[in-house]
A and B are shown apart, each in its own frame.
Chain A
Amino acid sequence: MKVICSRCESPGVTQMHAGMEDGKVLWRVWHCKDCAYTWRDSEPAESIDPKLRPAWAQMKGVDFDSLRQVIPPARKPT
Protein backbone atom coordinates (compact mmCIF):
# COMPACT_ATOMS: atom_id res chain seq x y z
CA MET A 1 0.00 0.00 0.00
CA LYS A 2 1.26 3.47 -0.89
CA VAL A 3 2.22 5.45 2.21
CA ILE A 4 0.91 9.02 2.38
CA CYS A 5 1.60 11.74 4.95
CA SER A 6 -0.56 11.47 8.08
CA ARG A 7 -0.84 15.25 8.27
CA CYS A 8 -0.98 16.74 4.73
CA GLU A 9 -1.76 13.51 2.84
CA SER A 10 1.09 14.17 0.39
CA PRO A 11 2.62 11.09 -1.24
CA GLY A 12 6.09 12.70 -0.87
CA VAL A 13 7.20 10.67 2.14
CA THR A 14 10.56 9.00 2.86
CA GLN A 15 11.44 6.23 5.26
CA MET A 16 13.91 7.50 7.87
CA HIS A 17 14.49 4.35 9.88
CA ALA A 18 13.16 0.86 10.62
CA GLY A 19 13.09 -0.54 14.15
CA MET A 20 14.08 -4.20 14.34
CA GLU A 21 13.04 -6.91 16.78
CA ASP A 22 14.16 -10.54 16.43
CA GLY A 23 15.38 -9.88 12.91
CA LYS A 24 12.01 -8.49 11.77
CA VAL A 25 10.86 -4.92 11.11
CA LEU A 26 8.75 -3.82 14.09
CA TRP A 27 8.02 -0.29 12.90
CA ARG A 28 9.13 2.30 10.34
CA VAL A 29 9.65 6.05 10.78
CA TRP A 30 8.40 8.27 7.92
CA HIS A 31 9.06 11.93 7.14
CA CYS A 32 7.08 14.16 4.78
CA LYS A 33 9.08 16.43 2.48
CA ASP A 34 6.15 18.85 2.13
CA CYS A 35 4.87 19.52 5.67
CA ALA A 36 7.86 17.98 7.55
CA TYR A 37 5.62 15.72 9.65
CA THR A 38 7.44 12.75 11.17
CA TRP A 39 5.71 9.65 12.48
CA ARG A 40 6.21 6.02 13.37
CA ASP A 41 3.72 3.58 11.89
CA SER A 42 3.32 1.86 15.29
CA GLU A 43 1.95 5.00 16.98
CA PRO A 44 -1.61 5.30 18.35
CA ALA A 45 -4.10 6.30 15.65
CA GLU A 46 -4.68 9.75 17.22
CA SER A 47 -1.18 10.69 16.00
CA ILE A 48 -1.00 8.96 12.60
CA ASP A 49 -4.46 8.30 11.13
CA PRO A 50 -5.59 11.32 9.05
CA LYS A 51 -9.22 10.43 9.86
CA LEU A 52 -8.64 10.29 13.60
CA ARG A 53 -6.15 13.11 14.02
CA PRO A 54 -7.76 16.37 15.25
CA ALA A 55 -8.91 18.62 12.41
CA TRP A 56 -6.86 21.56 13.70
CA ALA A 57 -3.67 19.52 13.38
CA GLN A 58 -4.21 18.59 9.70
CA MET A 59 -2.42 20.52 6.97
CA LYS A 60 -3.99 19.28 3.74
CA GLY A 61 -4.19 22.20 1.33
CA VAL A 62 -2.17 24.60 3.52
CA ASP A 63 0.15 27.04 1.71
CA PHE A 64 3.42 26.38 3.53
CA ASP A 65 4.96 29.61 2.19
CA SER A 66 2.34 31.58 4.12
CA LEU A 67 3.44 30.23 7.52
CA ARG A 68 4.80 32.73 10.02
CA GLN A 69 8.59 33.15 10.22
CA VAL A 70 10.05 33.08 13.73
CA ILE A 71 13.42 34.51 12.60
CA PRO A 72 12.90 36.34 9.30
CA PRO A 73 15.61 35.33 6.79
CA ALA A 74 17.99 38.13 5.77
CA ARG A 75 17.77 37.21 2.10
CA LYS A 76 16.55 34.48 -0.19
CA PRO A 77 18.39 31.20 0.34
CA THR A 78 21.11 30.55 -2.20
Chain B
Amino acid sequence: MATEKVVSLSAEAKAVAARVGSLRDFLAYLGEHDQCVSWPDPVMPEPDIRNISVAAGNNVSTGPAVIFDKIRGYPGKRIAVNVHGSFGNLALLLGLPKITPVRELFFEIIRRWGSDKPLLERVAPEKAPVNENRVDKNINLYDLLPLYRINANDGGFYIGKACVVSRDPLEPDNFGKQNVGIYRIQVMGPDTFTLLSIPAHDMGRQMLMAEQHGKPLKVSVMIGNHPAMPMFAATPVGYDESEFAYASQMMGAPLRLTTAVNGTDILADTEMVIEGELQLNQREVEGPFGEFPGSYSGVRKVPLFRVTGVSHRNNPIFENIYIGKGWTEHDTLIGLNTSAPIYSQLKKDFPEVAAVNALYQHGLTGIISVRNRFSGFAKSVAMRALGTPHGTMYLKNLILVDENVDPFDLNQVMWALSTRTRANDIIVIPNMPMVPIDPAAEVPGKGHRLIIDATSFMAPDNLGADPHLVDRPMGPEIDALMQRLNELQKGRA
Protein backbone atom coordinates (compact mmCIF):
# COMPACT_ATOMS: atom_id res chain seq x y z
CA MET B 1 0.00 0.00 0.00
CA ALA B 2 1.25 3.45 -0.91
CA THR B 3 0.72 4.74 2.61
CA GLU B 4 3.39 2.44 4.05
CA LYS B 5 6.01 3.72 1.64
CA VAL B 6 5.21 7.30 2.33
CA VAL B 7 5.19 7.57 6.07
CA SER B 8 5.31 4.69 8.51
CA LEU B 9 2.53 5.07 11.01
CA SER B 10 1.95 3.29 14.29
CA ALA B 11 -1.00 0.89 14.50
CA GLU B 12 -2.89 3.51 16.54
CA ALA B 13 -2.20 6.27 13.99
CA LYS B 14 -3.37 4.01 11.16
CA ALA B 15 -6.54 3.18 13.06
CA VAL B 16 -7.32 6.87 13.63
CA ALA B 17 -6.54 7.78 10.03
CA ALA B 18 -8.80 4.98 8.80
CA ARG B 19 -11.82 5.85 10.92
CA VAL B 20 -11.67 9.67 10.91
CA GLY B 21 -12.90 10.86 7.53
CA SER B 22 -14.80 13.95 8.60
CA LEU B 23 -15.42 16.41 11.40
CA ARG B 24 -18.27 14.21 12.68
CA ASP B 25 -16.02 11.17 12.89
CA PHE B 26 -13.41 13.16 14.78
CA LEU B 27 -15.91 14.59 17.27
CA ALA B 28 -17.12 11.04 18.00
CA TYR B 29 -13.53 9.84 18.43
CA LEU B 30 -12.72 12.78 20.74
CA GLY B 31 -15.87 11.97 22.73
CA GLU B 32 -14.66 8.42 23.36
CA HIS B 33 -11.54 9.92 24.94
CA ASP B 34 -13.48 12.47 27.05
CA GLN B 35 -12.27 15.24 24.71
CA CYS B 36 -15.63 16.39 23.35
CA VAL B 37 -18.64 17.58 25.31
CA SER B 38 -22.14 18.63 24.29
CA TRP B 39 -23.11 21.76 26.20
CA PRO B 40 -26.24 20.69 28.08
CA ASP B 41 -27.93 24.07 28.62
CA PRO B 42 -29.60 26.51 26.21
CA VAL B 43 -27.16 29.29 25.20
CA MET B 44 -27.60 32.77 23.77
CA PRO B 45 -25.43 33.36 20.68
CA GLU B 46 -23.76 36.23 22.58
CA PRO B 47 -22.00 36.23 24.93
CA ASP B 48 -22.43 32.56 25.91
CA ILE B 49 -20.68 30.91 22.95
CA ARG B 50 -17.74 33.29 23.24
CA ASN B 51 -17.38 32.69 26.99
CA ILE B 52 -17.68 28.91 26.84
CA SER B 53 -15.19 28.79 23.93
CA VAL B 54 -12.65 30.76 25.97
CA ALA B 55 -13.17 28.51 29.00
CA ALA B 56 -12.63 25.37 26.89
CA GLY B 57 -9.48 26.83 25.34
CA ASN B 58 -7.96 27.88 28.66
CA ASN B 59 -6.94 24.27 29.30
CA VAL B 60 -4.21 24.09 26.66
CA SER B 61 -3.29 20.49 27.39
CA THR B 62 -6.68 18.74 27.51
CA GLY B 63 -9.46 21.29 26.89
CA PRO B 64 -12.36 19.59 25.07
CA ALA B 65 -14.15 20.35 21.82
CA VAL B 66 -17.61 21.74 22.64
CA ILE B 67 -20.80 21.15 20.67
CA PHE B 68 -23.76 23.51 21.07
CA ASP B 69 -27.13 22.20 19.91
CA LYS B 70 -29.46 24.32 22.06
CA ILE B 71 -28.79 27.78 20.63
CA ARG B 72 -31.65 30.12 21.45
CA GLY B 73 -33.32 31.50 18.33
CA TYR B 74 -31.55 28.91 16.15
CA PRO B 75 -33.60 25.75 16.80
CA GLY B 76 -32.05 22.61 15.30
CA LYS B 77 -28.75 24.34 14.48
CA ARG B 78 -25.35 23.15 15.75
CA ILE B 79 -21.98 24.79 16.45
CA ALA B 80 -18.66 23.11 17.31
CA VAL B 81 -15.75 25.06 18.83
CA ASN B 82 -12.29 24.27 20.23
CA VAL B 83 -11.94 21.13 18.07
CA HIS B 84 -8.20 21.89 17.72
CA GLY B 85 -8.10 23.83 20.98
CA SER B 86 -5.82 21.56 23.00
CA PHE B 87 -2.66 19.58 22.39
CA GLY B 88 -4.56 16.57 23.72
CA ASN B 89 -6.96 16.78 20.78
CA LEU B 90 -4.07 17.12 18.31
CA ALA B 91 -2.32 14.14 19.90
CA LEU B 92 -5.44 11.98 19.43
CA LEU B 93 -5.65 13.01 15.77
CA LEU B 94 -2.06 11.80 15.33
CA GLY B 95 -2.84 8.49 17.06
CA LEU B 96 -0.94 9.36 20.23
CA PRO B 97 -2.04 9.38 23.90
CA LYS B 98 -3.72 12.66 24.77
CA ILE B 99 -1.07 13.50 27.40
CA THR B 100 1.79 13.35 24.84
CA PRO B 101 4.30 16.19 25.48
CA VAL B 102 4.27 19.01 22.88
CA ARG B 103 7.88 18.25 21.98
CA GLU B 104 6.87 14.73 20.92
CA LEU B 105 3.96 16.08 18.86
CA PHE B 106 6.44 18.37 17.11
CA PHE B 107 8.71 15.45 16.21
CA GLU B 108 5.73 13.38 15.07
CA ILE B 109 4.83 16.18 12.61
CA ILE B 110 8.49 16.34 11.52
CA ARG B 111 8.55 12.56 11.06
CA ARG B 112 5.54 12.78 8.74
CA TRP B 113 7.00 15.81 6.96
CA GLY B 114 8.37 15.43 3.46
CA SER B 115 6.25 12.52 2.28
CA ASP B 116 5.24 13.36 -1.26
CA LYS B 117 2.56 10.96 -2.41
CA PRO B 118 -0.89 12.54 -2.53
CA LEU B 119 -3.57 10.19 -1.19
CA LEU B 120 -6.75 11.52 -2.78
CA GLU B 121 -9.95 9.69 -3.60
CA ARG B 122 -12.60 11.00 -6.00
CA VAL B 123 -16.25 10.79 -5.04
CA ALA B 124 -19.02 11.43 -7.58
CA PRO B 125 -20.90 14.64 -6.65
CA GLU B 126 -24.23 12.77 -6.36
CA LYS B 127 -22.64 10.44 -3.78
CA ALA B 128 -20.94 13.16 -1.72
CA PRO B 129 -22.56 13.79 1.69
CA VAL B 130 -21.94 17.53 1.31
CA ASN B 131 -24.50 17.51 -1.51
CA GLU B 132 -27.35 16.13 0.60
CA ASN B 133 -28.91 19.62 0.46
CA ARG B 134 -28.55 22.45 -2.03
CA VAL B 135 -29.68 26.07 -1.76
CA ASP B 136 -29.61 28.11 -4.99
CA LYS B 137 -32.35 30.68 -4.39
CA ASN B 138 -33.25 33.07 -1.57
CA ILE B 139 -29.86 32.47 0.02
CA ASN B 140 -29.60 33.90 3.54
CA LEU B 141 -26.40 33.06 5.39
CA TYR B 142 -27.92 34.40 8.63
CA ASP B 143 -30.58 31.72 8.35
CA LEU B 144 -28.37 28.88 7.10
CA LEU B 145 -25.68 29.30 9.77
CA PRO B 146 -26.00 30.02 13.52
CA LEU B 147 -23.75 33.08 13.19
CA TYR B 148 -22.53 34.98 16.26
CA ARG B 149 -20.07 37.68 17.31
CA ILE B 150 -16.72 36.18 18.32
CA ASN B 151 -15.30 39.19 20.22
CA ALA B 152 -17.40 42.02 21.66
CA ASN B 153 -16.06 44.72 19.34
CA ASP B 154 -15.85 42.76 16.10
CA GLY B 155 -17.52 44.60 13.22
CA GLY B 156 -19.89 41.71 12.55
CA PHE B 157 -20.31 37.95 12.56
CA TYR B 158 -17.24 36.08 11.37
CA ILE B 159 -16.62 32.66 9.91
CA GLY B 160 -13.16 32.13 11.35
CA LYS B 161 -12.13 28.55 10.57
CA ALA B 162 -13.36 27.88 7.04
CA CYS B 163 -10.98 26.43 4.47
CA VAL B 164 -11.37 28.42 1.26
CA VAL B 165 -10.65 26.73 -2.08
CA SER B 166 -9.88 28.84 -5.13
CA ARG B 167 -8.53 28.18 -8.59
CA ASP B 168 -5.89 30.34 -10.25
CA PRO B 169 -8.00 32.80 -12.33
CA LEU B 170 -5.53 32.59 -15.23
CA GLU B 171 -5.08 28.79 -15.07
CA PRO B 172 -8.42 27.50 -13.77
CA ASP B 173 -7.67 23.93 -14.90
CA ASN B 174 -4.42 23.58 -12.94
CA PHE B 175 -5.06 21.40 -9.84
CA GLY B 176 -1.68 22.28 -8.32
CA LYS B 177 -2.38 26.00 -8.50
CA GLN B 178 -5.65 25.50 -6.68
CA ASN B 179 -5.22 27.12 -3.30
CA VAL B 180 -6.73 26.12 0.04
CA GLY B 181 -6.31 28.56 2.90
CA ILE B 182 -7.97 29.90 6.02
CA TYR B 183 -9.02 33.52 5.63
CA ARG B 184 -11.29 35.50 7.87
CA ILE B 185 -14.76 35.93 6.43
CA GLN B 186 -17.25 38.56 7.55
CA VAL B 187 -20.83 37.92 6.54
CA MET B 188 -22.32 41.12 5.09
CA GLY B 189 -25.69 40.99 3.33
CA PRO B 190 -27.78 37.81 3.26
CA ASP B 191 -25.76 36.52 0.28
CA THR B 192 -22.53 38.53 0.42
CA PHE B 193 -19.33 38.32 2.44
CA THR B 194 -15.88 39.85 2.57
CA LEU B 195 -12.76 37.71 2.58
CA LEU B 196 -9.57 39.22 3.95
CA SER B 197 -6.25 38.38 2.34
CA ILE B 198 -3.08 40.38 1.68
CA PRO B 199 -1.11 40.54 -1.59
CA ALA B 200 1.62 38.34 -0.03
CA HIS B 201 -0.81 35.42 0.44
CA ASP B 202 -1.99 33.05 -2.31
CA MET B 203 -5.59 34.29 -2.18
CA GLY B 204 -4.49 37.92 -2.32
CA ARG B 205 -2.40 37.16 -5.42
CA GLN B 206 -5.39 35.53 -7.06
CA MET B 207 -7.67 38.49 -6.28
CA LEU B 208 -5.12 40.90 -7.79
CA MET B 209 -4.78 38.71 -10.90
CA ALA B 210 -8.54 38.38 -11.38
CA GLU B 211 -9.10 42.14 -11.19
CA GLN B 212 -6.11 43.04 -13.35
CA HIS B 213 -7.24 40.67 -16.12
CA GLY B 214 -11.00 41.02 -15.61
CA LYS B 215 -11.31 37.25 -15.01
CA PRO B 216 -13.78 35.59 -12.64
CA LEU B 217 -12.50 34.29 -9.29
CA LYS B 218 -14.67 31.52 -7.89
CA VAL B 219 -14.21 30.24 -4.37
CA SER B 220 -15.66 27.46 -2.25
CA VAL B 221 -15.81 28.17 1.47
CA MET B 222 -15.69 24.79 3.26
CA ILE B 223 -17.05 24.86 6.81
CA GLY B 224 -16.68 21.93 9.24
CA ASN B 225 -13.90 19.88 7.71
CA HIS B 226 -11.78 16.81 8.17
CA PRO B 227 -9.58 17.85 11.13
CA ALA B 228 -6.39 17.57 9.06
CA MET B 229 -7.61 20.23 6.64
CA PRO B 230 -7.63 23.35 8.86
CA MET B 231 -4.48 22.11 10.59
CA PHE B 232 -2.53 21.80 7.35
CA ALA B 233 -4.31 24.39 5.17
CA ALA B 234 -2.54 27.00 7.26
CA THR B 235 0.90 25.49 6.55
CA PRO B 236 2.83 27.51 4.01
CA VAL B 237 3.34 25.11 1.07
CA GLY B 238 4.66 26.30 -2.32
CA TYR B 239 2.22 28.14 -4.62
CA ASP B 240 2.03 25.18 -7.01
CA GLU B 241 1.68 22.54 -4.28
CA SER B 242 -1.77 21.33 -3.27
CA GLU B 243 -2.89 21.69 0.34
CA PHE B 244 -5.28 18.76 -0.23
CA ALA B 245 -2.37 16.54 -1.22
CA TYR B 246 -0.32 17.79 1.70
CA ALA B 247 -3.04 17.19 4.29
CA SER B 248 -3.57 13.64 3.04
CA GLN B 249 0.18 12.94 3.15
CA MET B 250 0.38 14.16 6.73
CA MET B 251 -2.55 11.94 7.77
CA GLY B 252 -1.19 8.98 5.82
CA ALA B 253 -4.75 8.27 4.68
CA PRO B 254 -6.87 9.28 1.70
CA LEU B 255 -8.96 12.45 1.71
CA ARG B 256 -12.23 12.20 -0.24
CA LEU B 257 -12.63 14.94 -2.82
CA THR B 258 -15.57 15.83 -5.01
CA THR B 259 -16.31 18.64 -7.46
CA ALA B 260 -18.37 21.64 -6.39
CA VAL B 261 -21.00 23.13 -8.69
CA ASN B 262 -18.57 25.98 -9.48
CA GLY B 263 -15.84 23.53 -10.56
CA THR B 264 -13.49 23.75 -7.58
CA ASP B 265 -12.47 20.63 -5.69
CA ILE B 266 -13.96 20.30 -2.23
CA LEU B 267 -13.94 17.72 0.55
CA ALA B 268 -16.83 15.31 -0.07
CA ASP B 269 -17.58 14.98 3.66
CA THR B 270 -17.42 18.64 4.63
CA GLU B 271 -20.41 19.99 6.57
CA MET B 272 -21.19 22.98 4.35
CA VAL B 273 -19.79 24.64 1.26
CA ILE B 274 -20.60 28.23 0.38
CA GLU B 275 -19.77 28.94 -3.25
CA GLY B 276 -18.95 32.55 -4.02
CA GLU B 277 -17.65 34.78 -6.76
CA LEU B 278 -15.43 37.83 -6.36
CA GLN B 279 -17.28 41.04 -7.24
CA LEU B 280 -14.52 42.59 -9.34
CA ASN B 281 -13.19 45.84 -7.87
CA GLN B 282 -16.03 46.09 -5.35
CA ARG B 283 -15.12 46.67 -1.73
CA GLU B 284 -16.98 46.67 1.56
CA VAL B 285 -16.14 48.14 4.97
CA GLU B 286 -14.66 45.27 7.01
CA GLY B 287 -13.57 44.90 10.65
CA PRO B 288 -12.53 45.37 13.30
CA PHE B 289 -11.77 41.76 14.17
CA GLY B 290 -10.04 40.51 17.33
CA GLU B 291 -6.93 39.00 15.76
CA PHE B 292 -4.24 36.56 16.90
CA PRO B 293 -1.90 39.19 18.38
CA GLY B 294 -4.71 39.82 20.87
CA SER B 295 -5.76 43.20 19.53
CA TYR B 296 -8.41 44.38 17.09
CA SER B 297 -7.44 44.95 13.49
CA GLY B 298 -8.56 48.25 11.97
CA VAL B 299 -11.57 48.94 9.75
CA ARG B 300 -10.64 48.69 6.09
CA LYS B 301 -12.04 48.22 2.59
CA VAL B 302 -11.93 44.55 1.65
CA PRO B 303 -12.92 42.57 -1.49
CA LEU B 304 -16.55 41.48 -1.61
CA PHE B 305 -17.95 38.11 -2.76
CA ARG B 306 -21.48 37.16 -3.77
CA VAL B 307 -22.82 33.71 -2.89
CA THR B 308 -23.88 31.66 -5.91
CA GLY B 309 -25.03 28.55 -4.03
CA VAL B 310 -24.75 26.59 -0.79
CA SER B 311 -24.45 22.80 -0.34
CA HIS B 312 -24.66 21.15 3.05
CA ARG B 313 -25.03 17.86 4.84
CA ASN B 314 -28.16 17.01 6.77
CA ASN B 315 -28.12 18.72 10.16
CA PRO B 316 -24.80 20.49 9.44
CA ILE B 317 -22.30 21.54 12.12
CA PHE B 318 -20.98 25.11 11.98
CA GLU B 319 -17.38 24.70 13.12
CA ASN B 320 -15.87 27.94 14.33
CA ILE B 321 -12.89 29.15 16.36
CA TYR B 322 -12.28 31.52 19.25
CA ILE B 323 -9.43 33.86 18.40
CA GLY B 324 -8.19 36.89 20.31
CA LYS B 325 -5.81 37.46 23.20
CA GLY B 326 -3.85 34.21 23.61
CA TRP B 327 -3.79 31.44 24.42
CA THR B 328 -6.58 30.51 21.96
CA GLU B 329 -7.51 27.66 19.64
CA HIS B 330 -5.76 29.58 16.86
CA ASP B 331 -2.40 29.09 18.63
CA THR B 332 -2.89 25.34 19.03
CA LEU B 333 -4.31 24.90 15.54
CA ILE B 334 -1.37 26.38 13.67
CA GLY B 335 1.53 26.33 16.16
CA LEU B 336 3.14 23.00 15.32
CA ASN B 337 2.69 23.53 11.59
CA THR B 338 4.26 26.94 11.85
CA SER B 339 7.26 25.46 13.69
CA ALA B 340 7.80 22.43 11.43
CA PRO B 341 8.63 24.16 8.10
CA ILE B 342 11.05 26.56 9.83
CA TYR B 343 12.79 23.57 11.40
CA SER B 344 13.02 21.61 8.15
CA GLN B 345 14.28 24.63 6.22
CA LEU B 346 16.98 25.35 8.82
CA LYS B 347 17.92 21.69 9.18
CA LYS B 348 18.87 21.48 5.48
CA ASP B 349 21.77 23.88 5.92
CA PHE B 350 22.39 23.52 9.64
CA PRO B 351 22.06 19.95 10.94
CA GLU B 352 22.99 21.28 14.39
CA VAL B 353 19.44 22.65 14.79
CA ALA B 354 17.65 20.42 17.33
CA ALA B 355 14.10 21.83 17.49
CA VAL B 356 12.06 24.97 16.75
CA ASN B 357 9.22 26.28 18.88
CA ALA B 358 7.27 28.98 17.00
CA LEU B 359 3.99 28.35 18.83
CA TYR B 360 3.50 31.87 20.09
CA GLN B 361 1.19 34.18 18.11
CA HIS B 362 1.92 32.56 14.76
CA GLY B 363 5.66 32.71 15.44
CA LEU B 364 5.97 36.35 16.51
CA THR B 365 8.23 34.81 19.13
CA GLY B 366 10.32 31.77 18.24
CA ILE B 367 12.77 29.65 20.20
CA ILE B 368 15.43 27.66 18.35
CA SER B 369 17.61 25.09 20.05
CA VAL B 370 20.92 24.52 18.31
CA ARG B 371 24.38 23.15 19.00
CA ASN B 372 27.00 25.82 18.45
CA ARG B 373 29.40 24.59 15.76
CA PHE B 374 31.69 27.47 16.72
CA SER B 375 31.38 30.61 18.77
CA GLY B 376 28.62 32.89 17.47
CA PHE B 377 27.15 30.15 15.25
CA ALA B 378 23.66 30.46 16.76
CA LYS B 379 23.45 34.03 15.50
CA SER B 380 24.04 32.84 11.93
CA VAL B 381 21.24 30.32 12.38
CA ALA B 382 18.97 33.13 13.60
CA MET B 383 19.75 35.16 10.47
CA ARG B 384 18.88 32.16 8.31
CA ALA B 385 15.59 31.74 10.20
CA LEU B 386 14.69 35.35 9.41
CA GLY B 387 15.16 34.48 5.73
CA THR B 388 12.75 31.54 5.71
CA PRO B 389 9.38 32.18 4.05
CA HIS B 390 7.55 32.39 7.38
CA GLY B 391 10.42 34.15 9.15
CA THR B 392 10.43 36.97 6.62
CA MET B 393 7.11 38.31 7.93
CA TYR B 394 6.54 36.71 11.32
CA LEU B 395 9.65 35.76 13.34
CA LYS B 396 10.02 38.97 15.32
CA ASN B 397 11.65 37.85 18.58
CA LEU B 398 14.10 34.97 18.30
CA ILE B 399 15.64 33.21 21.27
CA LEU B 400 18.53 30.81 20.64
CA VAL B 401 19.20 28.10 23.21
CA ASP B 402 21.57 25.12 23.41
CA GLU B 403 20.66 21.80 21.78
CA ASN B 404 20.10 20.22 25.21
CA VAL B 405 17.55 22.88 26.19
CA ASP B 406 14.01 21.85 25.22
CA PRO B 407 12.51 24.91 23.48
CA PHE B 408 9.01 23.61 24.31
CA ASP B 409 9.79 23.65 28.06
CA LEU B 410 9.66 27.32 29.04
CA ASN B 411 11.28 26.59 32.42
CA GLN B 412 14.36 25.39 30.55
CA VAL B 413 14.24 28.36 28.18
CA MET B 414 14.11 30.73 31.16
CA TRP B 415 17.15 28.94 32.61
CA ALA B 416 19.02 29.66 29.40
CA LEU B 417 17.89 33.31 29.39
CA SER B 418 18.88 33.67 33.05
CA THR B 419 22.34 32.18 32.74
CA ARG B 420 23.44 32.73 29.14
CA THR B 421 22.23 36.17 28.11
CA ARG B 422 24.55 39.12 27.96
CA ALA B 423 22.50 42.31 27.69
CA ASN B 424 25.15 43.93 25.46
CA ASP B 425 25.03 40.96 23.08
CA ILE B 426 21.50 41.14 21.76
CA ILE B 427 20.81 42.08 18.18
CA VAL B 428 18.11 44.51 17.04
CA ILE B 429 17.52 44.79 13.31
CA PRO B 430 15.54 47.94 12.64
CA ASN B 431 12.80 48.55 10.06
CA MET B 432 12.21 45.01 8.89
CA PRO B 433 9.05 43.68 7.24
CA MET B 434 6.37 42.83 9.77
CA VAL B 435 2.87 41.47 9.95
CA PRO B 436 0.60 44.51 9.47
CA ILE B 437 -1.62 43.54 12.42
CA ASP B 438 1.27 43.37 14.91
CA PRO B 439 0.45 46.20 17.32
CA ALA B 440 4.18 46.59 18.09
CA ALA B 441 4.98 47.61 14.51
CA GLU B 442 6.50 51.06 14.01
CA VAL B 443 4.05 51.54 11.16
CA PRO B 444 1.73 48.73 10.03
CA GLY B 445 3.93 46.33 8.07
CA LYS B 446 7.29 47.54 9.34
CA GLY B 447 9.15 47.12 12.62
CA HIS B 448 12.20 45.78 14.43
CA ARG B 449 13.50 42.28 14.98
CA LEU B 450 15.17 41.02 18.14
CA ILE B 451 17.67 38.17 18.43
CA ILE B 452 18.74 36.93 21.85
CA ASP B 453 21.59 34.44 21.80
CA ALA B 454 21.13 32.40 24.99
CA THR B 455 23.43 29.55 23.97
CA SER B 456 26.54 28.58 25.91
CA PHE B 457 29.80 30.37 25.43
CA MET B 458 32.69 28.73 23.63
CA ALA B 459 36.19 29.71 22.51
CA PRO B 460 37.34 32.22 21.38
CA ASP B 461 34.74 33.75 23.69
CA ASN B 462 36.47 33.68 27.07
CA LEU B 463 33.34 34.40 29.05
CA GLY B 464 32.15 31.47 31.10
CA ALA B 465 35.11 29.45 29.88
CA ASP B 466 34.86 27.19 32.90
CA PRO B 467 31.13 26.77 33.52
CA HIS B 468 31.11 23.36 35.31
CA LEU B 469 27.62 22.53 34.16
CA VAL B 470 25.54 20.28 36.38
CA ASP B 471 24.67 17.11 34.52
CA ARG B 472 20.91 17.09 35.07
CA PRO B 473 19.42 13.59 34.74
CA MET B 474 17.15 13.56 31.68
CA GLY B 475 15.94 11.34 28.87
CA PRO B 476 13.67 8.30 28.59
CA GLU B 477 14.54 6.99 32.04
CA ILE B 478 13.43 10.22 33.74
CA ASP B 479 10.35 10.40 31.48
CA ALA B 480 9.37 6.88 32.59
CA LEU B 481 9.87 7.80 36.24
CA MET B 482 7.64 10.88 35.79
CA GLN B 483 4.98 8.70 34.21
CA ARG B 484 5.23 6.25 37.14
CA LEU B 485 4.84 9.11 39.65
CA ASN B 486 1.86 10.38 37.68
CA GLU B 487 0.19 6.98 37.89
CA LEU B 488 1.00 6.66 41.60
CA GLN B 489 -0.67 10.04 42.14
CA LYS B 490 -3.81 8.83 40.36
CA GLY B 491 -3.74 5.61 42.39
CA ARG B 492 -3.48 3.44 39.29
CA ALA B 493 -0.07 1.82 39.93
Contact = CB atoms under 8 A, between A and B. Distances in A.
Contact of B75 (A20, A46, A69): A20
A71 B207 contact: yes
B47 A44 contact: yes
Contact of A68 (B47, B204, B298): B298
Contacts of B302: 70-71
Bin the interface of chain B by size: 35 or more
Interface string A39-66: 1101110110000011001010000100
A16 B142 contact: yes
B299 A59 contact: yes
Contact of B212 (A29, A31, A38, A74): A74
A75 B281 CA distance: 6
Contact of B190 (A16, A26, A59): A16
Interface string B260-287: 0000000000000000000111111110
B324 to A, nearest CB: 14
A49 B152 CA distance: 12
Nearest to B436: A70
B73 interface: yes
A30 B153 CA distance: 15
A47 B73 contact: no
Contacts of B156: 31, 36-39
Interface in B301-343: 301-303
B155 A19 contact: no
A19 B211 contact: no
Contacts of A53: 153
B113 interface: no
A48 to B, nearest CB: 9
A47 B152 contact: yes
Contacts of A26: 72-73
B198 A70 contact: yes
Contacts of A71: 197-199, 204, 207-208, 211, 302-303
Contacts of B73: 19-21, 26-27, 42
B143 to A, nearest CB: 5
A53 B199 CA distance: 33
Interface string B39-82: 00000111100000000000000000000000011110000000
B187 A38 contact: yes
Contact of A46 (B152, B189, B197): B152
Interface in B346-381: none
Contacts of A76: 281
B10 interface: no
A67 interface: yes
A54 B46 contact: no
B279 A77 contact: yes
B155 A69 contact: no
A38 B190 CA distance: 11
B100 interface: no
A73 B283 contact: yes
Given A21-B73, A31-B188, A77-B279, A70 B300 contact: yes
A13 interface: no
A57 B75 contact: no
Given A19-B74, A21-B75, A31-B189, A47 B284 contact: no
B157 interface: yes
Contacts of B285: 35-36, 64, 67
Nearest to B42: A21
Contacts of A43: 46-47, 149
Given A27-B73, A43-B149, A36 B284 contact: yes
A20 B197 CA distance: 35
A40 B208 CA distance: 34
Contacts of B187: 38
Contact of B142 (A29, A35, A42, A57): A29
B216 interface: no
- Name which of B45, B73, B282 has the most chain A CB atoms within 10 A of its CB: B73
Contacts of A69: 283, 300-301
Interface of B: 44-47, 72-75, 140, 142-143, 147-149, 152-153, 155-157, 186-190, 196-199, 204, 207-208, 211-212, 279-286, 288, 298-303
Given A53-B153, A70-B286, 17 more contacts: A21-B73, A38-B155, A38-B187, A40-B46, A47-B46, A67-B300, A69-B283, A70-B198, A70-B300, A70-B303, A71-B197, A71-B204, A71-B208, A74-B208, A74-B211, A74-B281, A77-B280
Interface of A: 7, 16-17, 19-21, 26-27, 29, 31, 35-40, 42-44, 46-47, 53-54, 57, 59, 64, 67-71, 73-78
Closest 4 CB pairs of A and B: A19-B73, A38-B156, A17-B142, A74-B211
